[in-house]
Structure 1
């Protein structure tokens, strides 16, 4: 409950909801004070990372600026330390919806992770129950039909990953193929709902979730050749040799060697069908399959793959930025800017060549840190920046408090509305708990858990190895030097392990390593119901399909 409502209760205020105006009128002995319930627009791109947003700076900020996303930060609050509790698409979405860690919401993994348990509470249901108009457009990726939305239009092909071009959407329960580019189409649906379908006098909560810039990074036609004539800069640790991290960062399938023909936009031979088509497209995703033009050296090929990847990725981000501009313009043109909370985030971070990587999953900074910014002119001071540790399980309680919705639902997350008001509570969290479970598909990243403070990252990789890593983020922000065995950090390691133990207990996830490994090994099912004769990409990569 926010400060305004707390004050109202103290004063013996009687709150009366006015459905016709979307306002709560607080009657006192003197004169009525009218406070509007704000609209909420929650925008989440898939695999968008801070390095791709110019408001965060970085090596691409002048080459590939994001002016519309930057506007949200400029007119609101930019968060520097919002962290993902399990850095992979589906589990992060489940954590955001429920306000709970994977061990409570039951959604641990993408591959063989089953479907999200749709019987459990989610924050959109609470908005809907409390009189908000609710809608969802774009990516859902949880294997179930969304609940809590009056209207939904979500990607329902390629295992709910969706397609960039001519995608199939589930439109309120029925599948329909729609011609066009997915980033534009999802925004078209959102704009249509805002303009023609919602009731103009009632508050609304809209969730707009883009497929972009998820793999396979297919730009809109107008941006396909955007940076054709330039060489993109390389991250300073692009050629990481993984010294001291050989069994963890050095033993993955997410380096520049693991891009497929589809990723690299090779022209597909005509006439391929079924598993042969998949085999051709995903060649390059297994060890020893290097995709590059003939005649290139290994170093030239590595750089060529990076250049292809980063240009396509950033071109996809360009379309996301354009479409966010459409949403902001609509709010301006319809006098909705002042009373609308707009959130921009991603399901986790992503690697853009740092450590020689693409993808996410690790507790390392580039995948752990989520881009996050909030604009709400009635509350948030423009151009404010926050450095507090916040996690994705904190989103749900915060959005509910912003909407003045008082729920009895228990969540592990905590509202950070006071932080939005510029007042960090004295007892705010100083550390967070992280846990990643999926192995070996995709990308062969060892399951691990850990603790992240503002100064240190401590992680335990445990599936078929027993490796601890410690990084001093002040001295080594790029996490190149694992100091776990450095004697001068012995007391730090001991203290962090105790804090980690407490965090795991508090999160109700202080299981044994054997129990954690069992979660990794368990096949919880597929996110979609597959036909008996359907060949999966995993079958192709494991050689199960002949």
Structure 2
């Protein structure tokens, strides 16, 4: 084992928005164990995903390339396990590698996890209670609550690891993915508390593209009885029903997060007990953000901030000063290159991400990105009806183009909609309530952003939409 090769413990939850984490200043939640990572390391305030949906984000994290390159554009695309990924490269660099928990990139043949010495994953979304796991190709059912089961297996793997090698362990939680089923341990958490509603809870989408109005993700009309586990009180007004549904939804969501936070504490304590805390990079993140009643919504998919932003907390005492906060723009496509860099392994030229290790060391490169490219491909999926779109985010503005065409992607509905644009001035409108695309005062900004968007597409080898709408 090379003395300069750190262990990597990568903890990823599913749909855990940063604004439900204490260290991000959450107004609705406390996460003391996740916050330990921030207190002992660095908090990234501008970590973004390149496609806000589960499978595509996971594929990008593994491969270090965008979805049009790795082929996982939608939830219905399986990964090709023969592709290069950073776990295979860590194996070649002498690492023991494992993944435990949610995989969600297909099973069987070429879509099983590759690059891992050990894998034990949930089939599909997995179950919250008494879940099935696929361990190295063999299906087994394990009693208990899924977060606890994943935690116990992860801690056990750390204790039983090959101690002659550095390790990568990817601990992937199912929670807090819909449907939100908390552990009995936390079933009564927040029972007598009213969770504050977000400031955009009653958004009417009046200035926005039709895409915002058409999406079926609204708290008031699109949450199902199984989501809120009951019916609102008889005689409730529409506004009261909406608030009642929000409380039911958000409390179960936060109860699921409570188990995640407990899990993080157990894993951190395991590193301490094993005497490897100082030589282990600990990462806490989620595969994307999530709407927690923001804009009156649940779910993700849109390029809006609450969906686009990922939590990213990292501790590594050898290189990261405790209590740091960084506002540079880092992306999920950067994770693979960063881990390889930290391990002293070469980063392949075909990887499209860039190591942000210098940033966590306090040395932001002069040529670091000031804008990012996003693309959501799954047009009008059967449940949420979000339009396909792409766009650019800078530190000041966000420009979104809803091209609204399936383009043959799997899981999309082949029904085109009129293309539309949105522009948000993030400095003056951080909640993205006012689309200023048609404001002539922003004509110069729009022209500049469109040129930069085209340059980003060219740089990542994606193609702009060239279809014509016939409505």
What TM-score results when the alignment is normalised by the length of structure 2? 0.94
Q: Which residue of 1 aligns with 2:398?
A: 457
Does 1:437 find its partner at 2:377?
yes
The C-alpha deviation readout for 1:441-461, integer Å capped at 9, x for no partner, is: 231111110000011000001
Q: Which residue of 2 aligns with 1:405?
A: 345
Q: Which residue of 1 aligns with 2:430?
A: 477
- Aligned positions of 1:531-546 closer than 5 A: none
Deviation at 1:293, TM superposition (A): 4.2
The answer to whether the 8 Å contact 1:395/1:415 transfers is yes
Does 1:310 find its partner at 2:250?
yes
Q: Distance in 2 between matches of 1:408 and 1:346?
A: 25
Q: Which residue of 1 aligns with 2:315?
A: 375
Moved more, 245-254 or 216-225: 245-254
Q: Distance in 2 between matches of 1:496 and 1:409?
A: 27
Q: Distance in 1 between matches of 2:52 and 2:256?
A: 21
Does 1:47 find its partner at 2:15?
yes
Alignment: residue pair count: 451
Q: Which residue of 2 aligns with 1:211?
A: 174
After TM superposition, the runs of 4+ consecutive aligned structure 1 residues lying more than 4 A away are none
Q: Aligned Cα RMSD in Å?
A: 1.3
Q: Which residue of 1 aligns with 2:56?
A: 91
Deviation at 1:128, TM superposition (A): 1.3
Does 1:82 find its partner at 2:47?
yes
Q: Which residue of 2 aligns with 1:187?
A: 151
- Aligned positions of 1:57-76 closer than 5 A: 57-60=25-28, 64-76=29-41
Deviation at 1:470, TM superposition (A): 0.5
What TM-score results when the alignment is normalised by the length of structure 1? 0.81
Q: Which residue of 2 aligns with 1:155?
A: 122
Q: Which residue of 1 aligns with 2:409?
A: none
Q: Which residue of 1 aligns with 2:445?
A: 492
Moved more, 133-142 or 438-447: 438-447
Q: Which residue of 2 aligns with 1:282?
A: none
Does 1:352 find its partner at 2:305?
no
Q: Which residue of 2 aligns with 1:392?
A: 332
Q: Which residue of 1 aligns with 2:88?
A: 125
Deviation at 1:405, TM superposition (A): 1.0
The answer to whether the 8 Å contact 1:459/1:468 transfers is yes
Deviation at 1:262, TM superposition (A): 1.6
SS at match of 1:338: helix
The answer to whether the 8 Å contact 1:402/1:417 transfers is yes
The answer to whether the 8 Å contact 1:135/1:151 transfers is yes
Q: Distance in 2 between matches of 1:96 and 1:187?
A: 21
Q: Distance in 2 between matches of 1:54 and 1:417?
A: 24
Alignment equivalent of 2:217, drawn from 241, 254, 271: 254
Q: Distance in 2 between matches of 1:353 and 1:48?
A: 13
Unaligned segments of structure 1, at least 5 residues = 1-21, 24-34, 267-290, 518-546
